[in-house]
Chain A
Amino acid sequence: MVEFKNVSVTYSNGVDALNNVSLKINDGEFAFIVGPSGAGKSTLIKLILKEVDMTSGEVIVNGFNLHKIKRGKVPKLRRTIGVVFQDFRLIPTMTVYENVAFVLRVIDAPKKYIRSRVPYVISLVGLKDKVKCYPSELSGGEQQRVALARALVNDPALIIADEPTGNIDPELSYQIVQLLKDINNCGTTVLMVTHAQELVEHFGGRTIVLNNGSIVFDKVLGGANED
């Protein structure tokens, strides 16, 4: 669950990135966050990941109150969140398997679990036969699916996808969003930031529009995913 209560963020250069934003995303929800560049979408995500601090207000993510959380606990918070980036951010010197397994190593998972969990998640995103490939040998869509597997592997309560289709061919974009929808259907909360109007129209669901640091629209569209 993600909850924003009257949150404002002002950067040190005086830019107001978010302005008195209140927002609640329940467990198991799927929400699109849309808006023009500079609307505050990135700041919203950075807040959830505790990359930036709010100037005022309160943010609660998966039970962590980000105002009170200690530095040392930030890794614990991040382990409950899976992130997918526009530019994939896979480690080029690692194979698909290693890129995914690496997350479980970070959280000190038992070896046995890693050996069974990683192939399972990779097969979920349909890359079973690419396990030993390096990121450079994969297409953009495939790389993003690896990134998705990486976000999924430690079974997070929340997945944040920051423009996951930004670097991918349009037809493959639908695949990626469909994957996110499938993940959501298994109970994981998904927050997807996007510029792609056609994807929002196609899939529908809760859509939050940001503009100039404020929420200007927050409704369920298309009727496909009504709460």
Chain B
Amino acid sequence: MKISSMKYLFGQGVKNVWTNRIMTFASFCVILVSLLLVGSMMLFTANVNRFISGIESKNEVVVYLNDGVTDETVSQMETDIKKLDNVAEVVFYSKEQAFEDYKKSMENAEEIFESIGDESPLPDAFKIRVKDISKMTSTIAQINKMQNIYKVSAPNDFADLLIGIKSTVGMISTAVIAALGIVCLVIISNATRASVFARRKEINIMKYVGATNTFIRIPFFVEGMVTGMLAGVAAAGLTWFGYEKFIEALSKQMTLWKAFGIDEFIPFDSVVVKVVLGYVGAGALLGAIGTVISTRKHLKV
């Protein structure tokens, strides 16, 4: 197809956005609402994931060692543990250090410690941070297989809870996004079907004079895409405004959120490019696919 023809067809598509403004407005609203719902769902999910990973990064597995292990064994064990896939960080926590910290934490009990003497009764230990909290159990099992381990203490229940929350939120948001996507496509293809139906005579004549399906489709395609992109821009603007206001309101209760381990919400600035591109892209895609579905039937002449 010639460039001049493409230009003409694109021009027709853009012109049709205005010519069919009532239908365009209907599709625009449907895409806008769907994008807003999906977008807020995604922002919510992103925030939840952020809180969870914030909490995750504070996880700590403590590995207590048997009494009387030599320094060489300790350094050997440290390298062995570091080699494990899921281990992010290993810190040796000597029994002397542990005893000092313990003493400090019990300031008014000097007498008791005097009777124990200077020799630390506590075991040497490694403090380990894992990368992925959901794989913690298998990591612990691997460590347990090593020699000279006295005991491994890990926040297992807590890890399970976090994993549970994460997968539930993930599942719900995926389901909501998928459902909204389908609903959106159905409504848009119906809305454009009406505008295609209004122009069925035009399409019919085009078929008679030998227009290819692509030729007939391009203006509709462009029209859907432009409508979707406009809706995407509007949705991005609304989300920006709404999100900022919402976070502002929530941030007034920051002490409450801190109690839950939530330090900070995702600032909109950090995701603005993703949100705008996502909205505009998804809008264009929805609009375009919607029109393709609805023109299909009328092209069979």
Residues of A within 8 A of B (CB): 49, 51, 72, 75-79, 83, 89, 91, 93, 102-103, 105-108, 110-111, 150, 154
Contacts and interface: CB of A to CB of B under 8 A. Distances in A.
A78 B19 contact: no
Contacts of A72: 212
Interface string B184-214: 0000000000000000011011111111100
A123 to B, nearest CB: 20
Given A93-B19, A111-B4, A106 B211 contact: yes
A87 B1 CA distance: 31
Given A89-B204, A91-B201, A106-B215, A79 B4 contact: no
Nearest to A80: B210
B301 interface: yes
A150 B202 contact: no
A89 B301 CA distance: 15
Interface in B250-301: 301
B208 A83 contact: yes
B204 A78 contact: no
A106 B209 contact: yes
A20 B36 CA distance: 62
Given A51-B301, A89-B201, A91-B202, A108 B209 contact: no
B208 A49 contact: yes
Contacts, number: 44
A51 B301 CA distance: 6
B2 interface: yes
B5 interface: yes
Given A89-B201, A89-B205, A91-B202, A108 B210 contact: no
B158 interface: no
B8 interface: yes
B5 A78 contact: no
B205 A108 contact: no
A78 B209 contact: yes
Given A51-B301, A89-B204, A91-B205, A105 B210 contact: no
Contacts of A106: 206, 209-211, 215
Taking chain B's interface residues, is the majority helix, strand, or loop, or is none over half, making it mixed? helix
A78 B2 contact: no
Given A76-B210, A106-B206, A107-B210, 14 more contacts: A51-B301, A72-B212, A75-B210, A75-B211, A75-B212, A77-B210, A78-B207, A79-B210, A89-B205, A102-B206, A106-B210, A106-B211, A107-B209, A108-B2
Interface of B: 1-2, 4-5, 8, 19, 201-202, 204-212, 215, 301
Contacts of A93: 19
Nearest to B215: A106
Given A108-B2, A108-B5, A111-B4, A103 B201 contact: no
Given A51-B301, A105-B8, A150 B209 contact: yes
A83 B207 CA distance: 11
A132 to B, nearest CB: 18
A105 B5 contact: yes
Contacts of B210: 75-79, 106-107
9 contacts: A75-B211, A78-B207, A78-B209, A79-B210, A89-B208, A103-B209, A106-B209, A107-B210, A108-B1
Contacts of B201: 89, 91
Contacts of B208: 49, 78, 83, 89
9 smallest beta-carbon distances between A and B, as pairs: A79-B210, A78-B210, A106-B211, A75-B210, A103-B209, A75-B212, A91-B202, A83-B208, A89-B205
Contacts of A79: 209-210
A72 B211 CA distance: 11
Max chain B Cβ within 10 angstroms of own Cβ: one of A75, A77, A83: A75
A23 B301 CA distance: 25
A127 B211 CA distance: 25
